[in-house]
């Protein structure tokens, strides 16, 4: 399948591994790029030297194009982006900040730049200062999706922008990829889906949960990391959201932020004073981030379902197996192409050839069961969760009864 994104990046398939902290590691990036997609390294948990080593490791594993992500709000992210530019990484993806300086430096060596955005204003601004593409994140996505869902966000932006769009949020199979392209996107970033593959470093406990959980089993709140963020609805997640940044969580942020000072190679006391002087808003955001980093790491690396919190999109309900990266990409593209050919046949008035296995799979999916860790906690307060995703108590009780 050829799109403006496959042409722009020189890749075979319009499938992207987005930069997911603790998941999009060098091996995972290389697996996706070798399978014909574009793997993007997450630098959130890395310092500058680790970023350089990771880029070199990717190059030792694959000769295919790849990318590096920098979430500019994270401490140390600008330094990591500078390393990616020095290493002349083919694609740089930035989020949560203004990356005009990245565009200038990347274009000087022929690199491409993708801005991650959630609305038209930021997308237009990124296009105006020279970004080659935008990754637009719908409300159903893992982590920091915007207010609008993919189904409305993509066509709205596609009709206003000239640069290609990568959609992030809700794409987990060939139906999603074909749908994304029909809506006006040129590729799909599949975070939640690629996170549950054989090569993914995600702990097996959470891979298992991702197969069990349904599309309703996530919550969206600003009380997890201080930004609107979607996570898997577990007792640890509900507890984190219920507490927000209360006194206990503020105190916990003190030791938790030591990780950040280590990452920045800054004496802890210097970081502490610097943050206090930067104002309450920054200090609060960093405290949220320090606690969130700790609990995401406990989920991804340790598989701790009682303390760990995992950012997950609603697409978790579309996951029924743990394939290899190559198997997943191959079947996603094959199914999308079959659907597209089938739609053409329908337009021509010929018989539909939609593969029935896809329909059967959705109908005969394994029963989703709640884990014991999820059964003890109460649902978050109404104000913590957007009305649309307020977990249905009725549905939750039913699931527990079933298990
Ligand atoms: C475990 C995990 C960690 C993530 N970390 C980051 C990150 O560090 N920076 C970022 O820009 N996006 C991050 N994301 C969001 C993804 O880049 C992407 O926007 C999202 O997964 C797309 O939606 P989907 O999950 O429905 O496919 C993360 C997602 C997951 C699942």
Q: Which of 112, 116, 95 is nearest to 43 (CA)?
A: 95
Q: What is the Å distance from ligand 1's center to 19 Cα?
A: 6
Please give the pLDDT value at position 353.
Answer: 54
List CB contacts of 227: < 8 A, sequence separation 6 or more: 144
* Percent of the chain residues topping a pLDDT of 90: 67
Helix (H) or strand (E) holding 7: helix 4-9
Residue whose token pair is 């070199």: 56
Please state, in angstroms and rounded to a whole number, the distance separating the CA atoms of residues 29 and 134.
Answer: 19
pTM for the whole thing? 0.85
* Domain range annotation of the chain: 4-202+323-338, 205-313+369-402
Best CA proximity match to 228, nearest among 141, 315, 158, 296: 141
b/e code 279-289 from CB counts within 10 Å (16+ = b): eeeebebbbbb
313 Cα: distance to centroid of ligand 1 (angstroms)? 8
Picking from 293, 283, 229, the residue whose alpha carbon sits closest to that of residue 260 is 293
- DSSP letters, 94-144, are EESS--HHHHHHHHHTT-EEEEEESSHHHHHHHHHTT-SEEEEE-TTSSBS
Q: Rounded to the nearest whole angstrom, what is the distance from the C-alpha of residue 401 to the centroid of ligand 1?
A: 32
Measure 190 CA to ligand 1 centroid, in angstroms. 9
Q: Which residue has the tokens 């500078």?
A: 82
Domain 4-202+323-338 is in which class?
Answer: alpha beta
Q: At what angle do helices 77-86 and 48-61 cross, to 10 degrees?
A: 40
Query: Which of the two residues, 402 and 355, has the higher pLDDT score?
Result: 355
* pLDDT for residue 301 is more than 80: yes
Q: Which residues line ligand 1 (CB under 6 A)?
A: 18-21, 23, 42, 44, 69, 71, 95, 116, 137, 140-143, 168-171, 189-192, 195, 311-313, 315
Q: CB within 8 A of 157, min separation 6: which ones? A: 120, 123, 134, 136, 165, 184
Atom of ligand 1 minimally distant from the CA of 95? 11
pLDDT tens string 35-77: 999 999 999 989 999 999 999 999 999 999 999 999 998 778 9
Distance CA 190, CA 173 (A): 9
Residues 153-177: tens digit of each pLDDT: 999 999 999 999 999 999 999 999 9
DSSP 235: H
Token code pair at residue 108: 């000087």
User: Which of 59, 92, 61 minimizes the C-alpha distance to 77?
Assistant: 92
Q: Which helix (H) or strand (E) element contains residue 221?
A: strand 218-221
394 pLDDT more than 60: no
Question: What is the residue-wise DSSP string for 300-327?
Answer: HTT--TTT---B--GGGGG------HHH
- Calculate the alpha carbon distances from 34 to 12, 300, 329, 330, 385 in Å: 10, 23, 11, 12, 39
């Amino acid at each position: 399948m050829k799109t403006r994104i496959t042409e722009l990046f020189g890749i075979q398939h319009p499938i992207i591994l987005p930069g997911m902290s603790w998941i999009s590691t060098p091996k995972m990036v290389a697996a996706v790029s070798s399978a014909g997609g574009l793997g993007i390294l997450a630098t959130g948990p890395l310092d500058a030297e680790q970023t350089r080593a990771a880029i070199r490791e990717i190059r030792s594993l694959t000769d295919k194009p790849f990318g590096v992500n920098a979430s500019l709000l994270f401490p140390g992210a600008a330094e990591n982006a500078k390393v990616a530019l020095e290493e002349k990484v083919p694609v740089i993806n930035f989020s949560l900040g203004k990356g005009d300086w990245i565009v200038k430096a990347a274009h000087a060596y022929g690199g491409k730049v993708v801005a991650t955005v959630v609305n038209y204003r930021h997308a237009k601004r990124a296009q105006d200062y020279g970004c080659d593409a935008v990754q637009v994140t719908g409300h159903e996505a893992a982590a920091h999706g915007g207010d609008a869902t993919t189904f409305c966000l993509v066509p709205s932006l596609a009709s206003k922008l000239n640069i290609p769009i990568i959609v992030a949020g809700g794409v987990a199979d060939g139906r999603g990829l074909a749908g994304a392209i029909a809506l006006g996107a040129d590729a799909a970033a599949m975070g939640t889906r690629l996170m549950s593959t054989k090569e993914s470093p995600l702990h097996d406990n959470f891979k298992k949960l991702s197969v069990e959980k349904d599309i309703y089993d996530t919550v969206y709140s600003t009380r997890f990391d201080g930004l609107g963020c979607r996570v898997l609805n577990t007792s640890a997640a509900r507890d984190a959201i219920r507490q927000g940044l209360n006194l206990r969580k503020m105190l916990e942020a003190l030791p938790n932020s030591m990780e950040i000072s280590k990452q920045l190679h800054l004496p802890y006391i210097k970081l502490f004073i610097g943050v206090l002087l930067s104002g309450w808003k920054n200090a609060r955001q960093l405290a949220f981030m320090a606690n969130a980093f700790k609990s995401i790491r406990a989920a991804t690396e340790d598989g701790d379902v009682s303390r760990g919190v995992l950012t997950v999109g609603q697409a978790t309900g579309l996951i029924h197996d743990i394939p290899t990266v190559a198997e997943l990409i191959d079947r996603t593209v094959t199914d999308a192409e079959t659907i597209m050919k089938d739609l053409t046949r329908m337009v021509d008035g010929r018989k539909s050839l939609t593969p029935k296995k896809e329909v059967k799979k959705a109908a005969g999916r394994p029963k989703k069961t709640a884990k014991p860790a999820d059964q003890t906690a109460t649902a978050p307060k109404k104000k913590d969760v957007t009305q649309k995703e307020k977990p249905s108590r009725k549905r939750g009780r039913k699931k527990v009864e079933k298990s």
